[in-house]
Amino acid sequence: QVQLVESGGGLVQPGGSLRLSCAASGSTFDYRIGWFRQTPGNVREGISCISTRDGRTYYDDSVKGRFTISRDNAKNTVYLQLNSLKPEDTAVYYCAAAPGYCSDYELPTYVMDYWGKGTLVTVSS
């Protein structure tokens, strides 16, 4: 069993930055760790993923060039650096995990087995 805990959300002004953390308990060797986000009334969308074995990454077009995913295997933690934030980035951000690699093309929710409870990011002036 893998348990995931997100942290780092908060209120930030447009153009600002935040760093989200996803701390895992249990082995996540050879796993894909992904970040998703969801706003009320909308589906949960996959925005970034990292493979813990080789660091392979995936980004949705909506965040490419602004967000950066990274990992610290020694701490069993994955980070998502959010830069150049926009009001439309406001959402609850979730991390999720499953054995295997990240796809180069998409990050659907059904490929994930374990989920955190989420952290709220609000981008507003």
**8-51 per-position pLDDT tens digit:** 999 999 999 999 999 999 999 999 999 999 999 999 999 999 99
Cα–Cα distance list, 124 to 11, 61, 89, 101, 121 (Å): 7, 22, 10, 35, 10
User: Which residues, in sequence order, are CB contacts of 102 under 8 Å at separation 6+?
Assistant: 32, 34, 49, 50, 51, 56, 57, 58
Percentage with pLDDT > 70 across the chain: 100
- Give the Cα separation of 42 and 49 in Å (integer): 20
